[in-house]
Chain A
Amino acid sequence: MFQEWQDKFVNNFITDDRWKYIADGLVTTLQVTFFAVIIGIVLGFLVAVVRSTYDKTGKLGILNALCKLYLTVIRGTPVVVQLLIIYFVIFGSARDISKVAVAVMAFGFNSGAYVAEIFRSGIMSVDSGQFEAGRSLGFNYVQTMRYIIMPQAFKNVLPALCNEFIVLLKETSVSGYIALQDLTKGGDIIRSRTYDAMMPLLAVAVIYLTMVIIFTKLVNILERRLRSSDH
Chain B
Amino acid sequence: MTTDYGDTLIKVQDLHKVFGELKALNGISEEIRKGEVVVIVGPSGSGKSTFLRSLNLLEEPSGGQIFFEGEDITDKKVDINKHRQKMGMVFQHFNLFPHKTILQNITLAPVKLLKKSREEAEKRAMELLALVGLEEKADAYPAQLSGGQKQRIAIVRSLAMDPEVMLFDEPTSALDPEMVGEVLELMKKLARDGMTMVVVTHEMGFAKEVATRVIFVDEGQIKEQAGPEEFFGNPKDERLKEFLSKIL
Listed in ascending order, the chain A residues whose CB lies under 8 Å from chain B are 127, 129-130, 132-133, 135-140, 143, 147-148, 151-152, 155, 229-231
Most chain A CB atoms below 10 A, which of B56, B58, B99, B112: B99
Of B91, B99, B109, B144, the contact of A138 (CB 8 Å cutoff) = B109
Interface SS majority for chain A: helix
Say yes or no: A136 contacts B99, CB within 8 Å: no
Of A129, A139, A140, A155, the contact of B91 (CB 8 Å cutoff) = A129
Report the Cα distance A127→B83, complex, angstroms: 24
- 0 or 1 for each of B78-114: is its CB under 8 Å from A? (1 = yes): 0001111101110101011111000000001100110
Assign chain B's interface to a size class: 20 to 34
The interface residues of chain A lying within 8 Å CB-to-CB of B98 are: 152, 230
The interface residues of chain B lying within 8 Å CB-to-CB of A139 are: 81, 109, 112-113
Report the Cα distance A34→B121, complex, angstroms: 41
Report the Cα distance A127→B141, complex, angstroms: 17
> CB of B172 within 8 A of chain A?
no
Of B85, B99, B141, B144, the contact of A137 (CB 8 Å cutoff) = B85
Say yes or no: B108 contacts A138, CB within 8 Å: no
The interface residues of chain A lying within 8 Å CB-to-CB of B154 are: 133
Closest residue of chain B to A133, judged by CB?
A: B95
The interface residues of chain B lying within 8 Å CB-to-CB of A143 are: 112
Interchain nearest-CB distance for A147 vs B (Å): 6
Report the Cα distance A151→B96, complex, angstroms: 14
The interface residues of chain B lying within 8 Å CB-to-CB of A132 are: 58, 89, 91, 95
Most chain B CB atoms below 10 A, which of A133, A135, A147: A133
